[in-house]
Amino acid sequence: MPVRVETYDRIEDAARALSASRSARFLGGGTLVMRAVNEADQSFDTIIRVRDASLRDIRAEGDRVTIGAGATMSDVIANRELAFLAPVARAVGGPAVRNMATVGGNLFAASPYGDFTAALLALGATVNLAGAVSRGVAIEDFLRDRDRGANALVQSVTVQRPHDASAFRFLKVSRVKPKGVSVMSIAAYLPLSGGRVSGARVAYGAMGPTPVHAVAVERALDGQPLDAAAIERAAAVATEGLDPPTDALASSWYRRQVAGVHLKRLLTAERR
């Protein structure tokens, strides 16, 4: 089936064209879309792209940073405002993939991909949708509706810079080092107040159809000092309420078995 390519100068026009057609796909860096084209994926017949370079902008305002959906993992690594996310971006693929893979595309990448999105989930990012009236959506809501919602164009994501850089931690677990795909990724934002965790946010990649919160882990850590006893309790409920997938990298059973071990490693790592 031939695929038509539509190129727009303005983000709003691309957003309108995308939302008007269920069989259209937006082209980010193309690491997944072009693979689908090569594999003769029949689920879309139109590719929509936009020339507006502002889709790649990264803007810091106070303690909030807005990252254009077209910013690549390499753009994130190169930007000093995003030093806290650089280790996450570095964990995505190899150099060639990072030069193309965008932040926007990562939001849509099916499991086991989505490492960067897991970090955005732990950091409580807002996803900004393009359109006549652009609007911000909590990343949880965006991910919940992602695979059944309208064909919306993501313009950017806004994320709060952690006040204390050591409060944010990220770990990618893969079998092939350094650029294998995730068995799981774990991102944790654990700000301390008076020596206790206050507002724990912990997210997994590759442990569900989209990145997901580890709700039981968050509950186990919140209000506790980050000590051996609290970490042990958190590790014991590492997969509570979750239904990890079985794929070519690992079975659901394996993911359940090892999640607590990796979570413990992340939580006991020296705070930087």
Ligand X SMILES: Cc1cc2nc3c(=O)[nH]c(=O)nc-3n(C[C@H](O)[C@H](O)[C@H](O)COP(=O)(O)OP(=O)(O)OC[C@H]3O[C@@H](n4cnc5c(N)ncnc54)[C@H](O)[C@@H]3O)c2cc1C
Size of the site for ligand X (CB under 6 A): 28
Secondary structure percentages of the chain, helix, strand, coil, to 5: 35, 25, 40
What distances in angstroms separate CA 248 from CA 190, 242, 251, one per listed residue? 32, 19, 8
Stretch that binds ligand X, among 22-30, 82-90, 192-200, 234-242 (CB under 6 A): 22-30
Give yes or no for a contact between 88 and 170, defined as CB atoms under 8 angstroms apart.
Answer: yes
- 27 sits near ligand X (criterion: CB under 6 A): yes
- 30 sits near ligand X (criterion: CB under 6 A): yes
- 101 sits near ligand X (criterion: CB under 6 A): yes
Q: In sequence order, what E strands does the chain have?
A: 4-8, 24-26, 46-50, 58-61, 64-68, 126-129, 135-138, 154-160, 168-174, 182-189, 192-193, 196-197, 201-205, 212-213
Q: Closest Cα to residue 116, out of 70, 73, 178, 155?
A: 73
Tell me which of 108, 142, 168, 170 binds ligand X, using CB under 6 A. Answer: 108
The identity of residue 94, as a single letter, is G
**Min dist. Cβ of residue 224 to ligand X (A):** 30
Q: Residue 93: CA atoms inside 13 Å, Cβ hemisphere, count? A: 17
- 28 sits near ligand X (criterion: CB under 6 A): yes
Ranges within 134-153 binding ligand X (CB under 6 A): 153
**Min dist. Cβ of residue 14 to ligand X (A):** 9
- 266 sits near ligand X (criterion: CB under 6 A): no
x/- track of binding to ligand X for residues 31-60 (CB under 6 A):
xxx---------------------------
Tell me which of 8, 11, 17, 29 binds ligand X, using CB under 6 A. Answer: 29
Nearer to ligand X, 69 or 237 (CB): 69
Ranges within 67-96 binding ligand X (CB under 6 A): 69, 92-93
Stretch that binds ligand X, among 103-111, 191-199, 216-224, 251-259 (CB under 6 A): 103-111
**Min dist. Cβ of residue 38 to ligand X (A):** 11
Nearer to ligand X, 28 or 244 (CB): 28
Residue 53 makes CB contacts below 8 A (sequence gap 6+) with: none
Give yes or no for a contact between 158 and 89, defined as CB atoms under 8 angstroms apart.
Answer: no
Q: Which residues bind ligand X (CB under 6 A)?
A: 25-33, 69, 92-93, 97, 100-102, 104-106, 108-109, 113-116, 153-154, 181
